[in-house]
Amino acid sequence: MTFIDISVALREGTPEWPGDTPFSCRWTSEIARGASVNVSAATGSPHVGTHADAPVHVENGWDGAGTLPIEAFIGAASVVDVRGHDGELELEDLGPDAGKPAARLLLRTGRSIAEGVFPHKWPTLSRSCLDALLEGGLRLLGVDAPSVDDRDSKALPVHRWLFMHGAYILENLDLRGVEPGRYELIAAPLKVEGADAAPVRAVLRPLASP
């Protein structure tokens, strides 16, 4: 059984959102210093690396990461290559299969932190495109970029519109080398009560063409 790891590794130096808390890891107990075991302690924003945003990230009183539904993050997914695009994407920009119902859509923008650099810009989905996808049953939007919204956005309209319609979000995927097509996605978020995001180990398994 072939699995494709599409997670960005958490390590010191993994690019964080500018101004956010970077990831760090240190030893609190070491065998080399006489302890019976090695024990580490990690700190950093849950938005560093591959993660699922929770609704409370954009609105007080909305659900936190501990309530993210597992079923939204596991199941059939379509990978669409939108490299070369900037600005807002319309439905037709997603290719000939864009109008087909899809519960999980992963966008390969080519603007990933996977190579160690935080990108300056990346494409996002227009409201009309989001509406069409939601009407087709979208439950999860995943991107290899740091956000489903524009880097300079303060209102975060894509986040809000997805959450308001019962859909969820994966960010900072590593889709380098992943060809467009149908896959099984397995990307359950950690159950972190009260947090605004949760780390994810995301993998794909190729599915046979219908």
- With beta carbons less than 8 A apart as the criterion, state whether 68 and 162 touch: no
Q: Find the distance separating the first CA and the last CA of the chain, reported in whole Å.
A: 19
Say whether pLDDT at 124 is over 80. yes
Where do the structural domains in the chain lie, given as residue ranges? 46-206
- Kindly tell me if the per-residue pLDDT of 210 is higher than 60: no
Q: What is the pLDDT of residue 209?
A: 59
pLDDT of residue 75 exceeding 60? yes
Whether 199 shows a pLDDT value over 70: the answer reads yes
Distance CA 203, CA 71 (A): 15
Catalytic residues: 57
On average, the pLDDT of the chain sits at: 96
CATH of domain 46-206: 3.50.30.50
What per-residue confidence (pLDDT) applies to 96? 85
* Cα distance between residue 135 and residue 123, in whole Å: 21
> Whole-model pTM?
0.95
| CA–CA separation, 99 and 92 (whole Å) | 8
What does the pLDDT read at residue 98? 77
Burial status of residue 148 (CB atoms within 10 A of its CB: 0-12, 13-18, 19 or more): buried
Kind of pairing between the strands at 39-43 and 24-29: antiparallel
Q: Does pLDDT of 7 surpass 70?
A: yes
> Tokens 């990230």, residue?
57
